[in-house]
Amino acid sequence: MTSKARVVIVGAGFGGLNAARTLGKAGLRITVIDRKNFHTFQPLLYQVATAGLSPGEIAAPIRSILRSHKNVEVLMGEVTGFDLERRIVQIPDAEIPYDYLIIAAGATHSYFGHEDWEPFAPGLKTIEDALEIRRRVLLAFELAERQAAAGQSELPLNFVVVGGGPTGVELAGTLAEISRHALAHEFRSIDPRRTHILLIEGGARVLPTYPEDLSRSAEEQLRGLGVECRTSAIVTQIEPGAVDIGETRLPATVVLWAAGVAASPLGKKLGAACDRAGRVPVQADLSLPGHPEVFVIGDLAAAKDEQGKMLPGVAPVAIQEGKFVAKLIREEVRRSGSKPVGHGSSQRMAFHYWDKGSLATIGRAAAVAQFGKIHISGFVAWLSWLFVHILFLIGFRNRLLVFIQWAWSYVTYERGARLITGSTYLPGWTASSPGSTVTSEQHVVQEIHSGTPK
Amino acid sequence: MTSKARVVIVGAGFGGLNAARTLGKAGLRITVIDRKNFHTFQPLLYQVATAGLSPGEIAAPIRSILRSHKNVEVLMGEVTGFDLERRIVQIPDAEIPYDYLIIAAGATHSYFGHEDWEPFAPGLKTIEDALEIRRRVLLAFELAERQAAAGQSELPLNFVVVGGGPTGVELAGTLAEISRHALAHEFRSIDPRRTHILLIEGGARVLPTYPEDLSRSAEEQLRGLGVECRTSAIVTQIEPGAVDIGETRLPATVVLWAAGVAASPLGKKLGAACDRAGRVPVQADLSLPGHPEVFVIGDLAAAKDEQGKMLPGVAPVAIQEGKFVAKLIREEVRRSGSKPVGHGSSQRMAFHYWDKGSLATIGRAAAVAQFGKIHISGFVAWLSWLFVHILFLIGFRNRLLVFIQWAWSYVTYERGARLITGSTYLPGWTASSPGSTVTSEQHVVQEIHSGTPK
């Protein structure tokens, strides 16, 4: 086994997993390292955050996914650093040597230097993040009902989503949907349909990376669902219970952060000069300059297309990059044996991204889609979104369950996973018992941090 | 609405939920108060703890379950006390008046004065408990694989379950099952089938409340699954990584606590003299002595049958008690209007428990069942267990999903919800990075406490 060339893959997201699967067919020794023991199907994270799906339905154990590939081993552990000269990956209690290294550590949310906002405005990148958002959203309705039932002044339910990209749009849309439907008839003292959902976007329009007509359509569909969109609005401060846009202070029961993305801090440990978003500049073959045996793919890579345009941080890019790098390594090893010595990256072919189009969901039967020149909105776009995502969901079992869930909720408007677990503290919610506040605040903060890479 | 008699129900377990449903049909105002927003189907908690089911599949929002009863309101909140004279239930930010009060606050696990063992041996009473146990069990395998892959001495995988009652038996059996099947072929450096599972029982036999022949059969079935049973063994100390039985110290990668149950601390707040297990002595009509308008049911009640034998803390007892009390209140209100004044509990009929039999599951196709004189073991017992539990699972949707899950895992041996969330600290595991240990230990302890009533 050890005589074979050893490929170490850091991260089992879309990029790393597809690299591992492709190499699983080759006669190499593969080691996949991830902080988690499971792959998260990130496009459906917002469904966990809005109680539509359970974590187990959008995540699958990495070793189950790769079980059939006997030459692939999976290690759960946090990568602490690299020694590019000795060709070693460091994890807390061991050093893993490699002949080839593929780094696909992904991205996390960025608060643009306002990390102090995080406890009051959680982002959505991990299962833990999703559970924390779900906890806060559901808890807000429960506390409001309790307060109203006790004859106390009913606090208005204001949900603020910061960031009008795909994540912000689907969060806002789905929050509107559940407040108008799933929760509508289950409360006695409050009317969830009166929940106010505000989507704040710094740019001139929502879904800025999409064509203008689709942005317009998305805004119309959001309004149709009951979401207020405020564009060209910059958030200047976030505190428990409040969001500031310049001088105006908006009361906010729950604030969600979908505004910024930053590449994994692992990028900086490569010694390369990362860009502003922390992404690692790579060559045309996705290798690290000066290190043909090291590849960076997915959201962590600053890869450009033929026109020099930066490739977007979306799943299809990561998937294609993972397969490309894996095939490249497979070929190279077959030609020259394990060591890539003498193979300058210049001799390699360049990665080419095949853009199949982009899809953004907004809510129940609402979405926008672009396939080349074709732009679609509404139900048809939503159907294609649904089809594509259930199709690509890892693991047949999950696919079946998710489909049943979806069919069920579509008919009944029900949300299957409306559980409030963990603490019962809501930042800035005065009605919650002061006694429990302190400890549970610490708990919440810890929960959030435990969900984001240090 | 307020002119109607008001019934407050504390706790939405089997007892409280059945009381609420029965009263939902009557013309009364009902208020259900629970610490959680969801009902937990406790008989299947061990399936969440062993990654077979997701929390959302054994729990349903209380307000969804009671949605159709317009006279029922649901409040999420921790009850802090009672004022029996003023007929008031206290929650953090309000006082809820009642004409009738039904207390069904259930039970939690007891460490017999060894509360310091809790961080090292979590019990299984809540969803949070189950997730913590799942986290530890799965993490143990991951850490062992990582250690072995790094060429370090492979720690033996020892799982110790303390307590040979139904919970301990099903935990031990299922742990054996997943280590022999679900995980068997997914690791490269360790062999999960060599996991050692030890069940420790203080009494002379496992399932002490069952007939002797079924206890014997249960022990045989456990051995068949690969569980070592040690009876008449008293645990004298639990530390990170070790369990002491008298003088002998046993290494333990993961320790689970299924040894003791104590009634909810709310019992003591009634001013009544509770028994050793913290249960509240009740009259034949399940009312509190001197307070015919206050009823205590379920695991919190020390109710006796005609022979003066204590009724067991099982779901059927709680369900029947909930329905009995609800009907009693409904009748009384119909006869005499809202206030129960003048109705001494003596004039009321006594509660009679109809024992339909008992079922205990052990693992895959293994169980024991008693229906009166009939004793069944093995596959048939397991099938009846499966049928009864899926049948009584709250909410059709969950029932369907759980059945699919079950059929799927039975055929494939797969476990659907193998996610390690939260911290990556395992008490007593030397290999985990010292850096993260302290903070994550606190996190773990907090997680556990947040899952158990203060």
- Enzyme catalytic residues of B: 170
User: What is the reported pLDDT for A435?
Assistant: 32
**A449 CB burial (10 A radius; 0-12, 13-18, 19+):** middle
Cα nearest neighbour of A441 on chain B: B446
B134 CB neighbours in chain A (<8 A) are: none
Q: How far apart are CA A155 and CA A140, in angstroms?
A: 10
- Nearest CB to A419; choose among B38, B139, B397: B38
Cα nearest neighbour of A406 on chain B: B397
What contacts B153, CB < 8 A, 6 or more positions away? B147
Q: Are B405 and B414 in contact (CB under 8 A)?
A: no
Cα nearest neighbour of A189 on chain B: B73
**3-class SS of residue A255:** strand
B394 CB neighbours in chain A (<8 A) are: none
Whole-number CA gyration radius for chain B: 23
Mean pLDDT of chain B: 87
Q: Are A225 and A363 in contact (CB under 8 A)?
A: yes
The tokens describing B444, both together, are 């773990």
User: What is the reported pLDDT for B394?
Assistant: 73
Q: How far apart are CA A83 and CA A96, in angstroms?
A: 10
Query: Euclidean distance between the first and final Cα of chain A, in Å?
Result: 34
**What DSSP character marks residue A195?**
-
**B322 CB burial (10 A radius; 0-12, 13-18, 19+):** buried
| B405/A128 Cβ within 8 A | no
User: What is the reported pLDDT for A428?
Assistant: 72
Of A267-276, B291-300, B345-354, the poorest mean pLDDT is in: B345-354
**3-class SS of residue A359:** strand
The residue of A58, A88, A96, A421 whose CB has the most chain B CBs within 10 angstroms, and thus the best one to mutate to test that interface, is A421
Per-residue pLDDT at B444 exceeds 90: no
**What DSSP character marks residue A69?**
-
The residue of A88, A89, A93 whose CB has the most chain B CBs within 10 angstroms, and thus the best one to mutate to test that interface, is A93
Q: Which residue has the higher pLDDT, B366 or A418?
A: B366
B439 CB neighbours in chain A (<8 A) are: 446
**3-class SS of residue A117:** helix
Confidence of residue A429 (pLDDT cuts 50, 70, 90): low
A4 CB neighbours in chain B (<8 A) are: none
- Nearest CB to B93; choose among A36, A73, A433: A433
E strands, A118-259, where?
Answer: 158-162, 196-200, 227-230, 235-239, 242-245, 248-251, 254-257
**3-class SS of residue B225:** helix
The active-site residue out of A57, A145, A170, A201 is A170
Q: Are A225 and A195 in contact (CB under 8 A)?
A: no
B36 CB neighbours in chain A (<8 A) are: 419-420
Residue with tokens 């079992």: A397
User: What is the reported pLDDT for A365?
Assistant: 87
What does the pLDDT look like over B335-379, one tens digit per residue? Answer: 876 555 545 556 899 999 999 899 999 988 899 999 989 999 999
User: What is the reported pLDDT for A345?
Assistant: 53
Q: Please give the average per-residue pLDDT across B416-422, as a whole number.
A: 81
What does the pLDDT look like over B9-39, one tens digit per residue? Answer: 999 999 999 999 999 977 899 999 999 999 9
| A61/B186 Cβ within 8 A | yes
User: What is the reported pLDDT for A425?
Assistant: 79
What does the pLDDT look like over B150-194, one tens digit per residue? Answer: 888 767 899 999 999 999 999 999 999 999 988 988 999 999 999
Q: Please give the average per-residue pLDDT across B268-283, as a whole number.
A: 92
Nearest to B106 by CA among B325, B299, B339: B299
| B56/A54 Cβ within 8 A | yes
Of B175-179, B289-293, B377-381, B448-452, the poorest mean pLDDT is in: B448-452
Other CB atoms within 10 Å distance of the CB of residue B407: 10
- Nearest CB to B443; choose among A38, A431, A446: A446
**3-class SS of residue B95:** strand
User: What is the reported pLDDT for B439?
Assistant: 31
Q: Please give the average per-residue pLDDT across A208-220, as a whole number.
A: 96
Q: Please give the average per-residue pLDDT across A157-171, as a whole number.
A: 96
- Nearest CB to B423; choose among A38, A95, A450: A450
Cα nearest neighbour of B184 on chain A: A67
A73 CB neighbours in chain B (<8 A) are: 145, 149, 188-189
Is A293 a known active-site residue? no
Torsion of CA B178, B180, B182, B184, to 10 degrees: 140
Per-residue pLDDT at B436 exceeds 60: no
Mean pLDDT of chain A: 87
**What DSSP character marks residue A274?**
-
Please report which helix (H) or strand (E) contains residue B114, including its range: none
Q: Are B41 and A107 in contact (CB under 8 A)?
A: no
Residue A368 Cα, gap to closest chain B Cα (Å)? 30
Q: What residues are paired with A88 via a beta bridge? A: A83, A97
**What DSSP character marks residue A311?**
P
Q: How far apart are CA B27 and CA B102, in angstroms?
A: 17
What is the distance of C-alpha B138 from the center of its chain? Answer: 21
Helix ranges (H only) for A122-247 are: 127-149, 166-177, 212-225
The residue of A68, A137, A147, A450 whose CB has the most chain B CBs within 10 angstroms, and thus the best one to mutate to test that interface, is A450
pTM given for the model: 0.89
Please report which helix (H) or strand (E) contains residue B385, including its range: helix B379-392
Cα nearest neighbour of B406 on chain A: A397
What is the ipTM metric for this complex?
A: 0.87
User: What is the reported pLDDT for B442?
Assistant: 33
Q: How far apart are CA A360 and CA A369, in angstroms?
A: 6
Nearest to A418 by CA among B415, B38, B170, B22: B38
B407 CB neighbours in chain A (<8 A) are: none
Per-residue pLDDT at B290 exceeds 60: yes
Q: What residues are paired with A196 via a beta bridge? A: A158
What is the distance of C-alpha A105 from the center of its chain? Answer: 12
User: What is the reported pLDDT for B25?
Assistant: 76
Residue A106 dihedral angles phi and psi, to the nearest 5°? 75, -155
